[in-house]
Structure 1
């Protein structure tokens, strides 16, 4: 993955690795699992690090962010309101016209196939908008 900033600084991928390690609990494990699923679904995605500490995955635009809080790991899809969600994964940020999020709590099961399908839909939507 790419490096941002001057030589010697950590790449976004290295910063995400460090965040996962520093959490050292279920949140780090969950973020690592979500990251792996995003990478499987969107192998061309670029990892970035924005807003002073938020992992972001991009492919022809932002796919999603991975924020960690005390009680949840939040995967926010930048254009989630425009994505089909047949498995009803979105359970947070439902009131807006653009974003949608999935809050994962300790012990939650991740529907890997449904999440990867959602990521692929997000990439497809991003790419369709950049071709216009």
Structure 2
């Protein structure tokens, strides 16, 4: 497993990953976080933050009508992480939120119009 990045390296890698995904106009970026309990006596644990591209650039092939990833796809997956100590969380989350917001500018707005549910839904709406 790759070593954890420093906060500045993590932010630059995350910015690059979000930019690449936006430029491709397809793909996903998965962000996760969890407490890292390294010492039972601490009141607030450190936080492990992970980011991955979900293997969006991996070559894929069709077999029997299903999408199958090739073995070479594992090498192209982008994964990185950082550990944030409890005393630095506020400053980290401020910068983290800014980077995530700027990286989401390429997202499409969700269509909130409700579609008719067929004949049974239309009858219930008229009654």
TM-score (normalizing by structure 2): 0.30
* Greater RCO structure (CA 8 Å; 6+ sep): 2
> Which entry has the higher C-alpha Rg, 1 or 2?
2
TM-score (normalizing by structure 1): 0.29
